[in-house]
A = this chain, B = another copy of it.
Amino acid sequence: MALENPPGSAFLLAAVGAHAAARFAARVSALDLTPPQVGLLGLIAASPGQSQQALAGVLGMPPSRLVGLVDALADRGLVERRRNRTDRRLYELHITEEGTEMLARIAKVGREHDDALCRSLDAAERETLRALLSRIAADQGLRPGIHPGYRSV
């Protein structure tokens, strides 16, 4: 909305956040990945062996949506589905060698993205911003490393 003078922090947050997400999406598209795929890959790397339903619960996403994301990552050999030996209903999701390499490239893209976004801030200001945002995130019940809106950057 264009009515507030000056705009509240919430509007600025939403606007800059959407811009950051869009720019990040453009960067990872060069790796033939979408932000949700990146989020899922990172989550699998952080806690391997999880079932799809467990991941869907963590991400707040319907399990039917996870199928396509996992399919895309598995087709490219970035993750693999292993049947759980004691409960063959479950899949254990694990990251592969190639997935780990991809993750390194993603991390590099993320740092470049971060630098581009915050280039108008010096190191101390960036740390201040990070601290303030972290405080809000914790207060608002956002789990670290998990993007709300299921797009999970």
Contact = CB atoms under 8 A, between A and B. Distances in A.
A104 B125 CA distance: 35
Interface residues of A, number: 66
A18 B140 contact: no
A20 B19 contact: no
A4 B38 CA distance: 12
A33 to B, nearest CB: 11
Provide the main secondary structure of the chain A interface: helix
Count of this chain's copies in the oligomeric assembly: 2
A21 to B, nearest CB: 4
B43 A2 contact: yes
Nearest to A17: B17
Given A121-B136, A145-B7, A20 B16 contact: no
A71 B136 CA distance: 37
10 contacts: A1-B110, A2-B46, A2-B144, A7-B145, A10-B110, A17-B20, A18-B147, A117-B140, A119-B139, A120-B135
Interface of A: 1-4, 6-22, 24, 38-39, 41-43, 45-47, 103, 106-107, 110-111, 113-114, 117-121, 125-126, 128-130, 132-140, 142, 144-149, 151-153
